[in-house]
Structure 1
């Protein structure tokens, strides 16, 4: 009998000490989640992007470029939903946040727009076949960032 009581106490203690995790529902931009490495970077440089889904209405990302193990560029990004509108916010180190309104969205693409920003005025992301493409552009310039998923 003592053994049974001790066994039940161990089970109750184990269950009560388990870490409780909150599941975030699948979201509109889950294809971004993970670690990405740019495939079309200049020789001698390596660029990465990392995204996570932190809250139901918030995705956070960071992008950075390394050259000779030194970080030469870094920016923080977030996709945030306010009411029914999504916004992409980008902040380079030491600079103010630049908001881009999401003007078009499908299951695996989105386009963001800020006509008052000098460059870029548009940012378009698309995901296909485990490749993430981000294109930053204005009327006279276009820069593609092509990423493949980095396994953790």
Structure 2
């Protein structure tokens, strides 16, 4: 009798400066049964350190997906997105903007900088959980991740 190998969880990096919003993402992922390891950093500078495995993040895994808030201290989401997409070793990681901003110029700028998706965080948890479920169904069921990560 052979045993089936348990699939590895998806590695998700969440850049979010509001602890309540980070917790909401954590709950929505769990309630939608998205099999993942969620890594949370509070701003863009910490996100860059995580991705480059610097400082406290020396053992950080390469994420399969980045969820990015736009409005953060130290380095905002737009600056972070530009830095990631300009880096040859990081640019293949899909970045989905997950923010409260529904301003048209933010949506357009995010896609111009290389975002793979844009989700506006609704205040209502049911709507938010539904958006996370759709994200999970799309990214983790349909999207082929790029080869060559060194987890």
**TM-score, normalising length from structure 1?**
0.31
Higher strand share: 1
Question: Bigger radius of gyration, 1 or 2?
Answer: 1
**TM-score, normalising length from structure 2?**
0.31
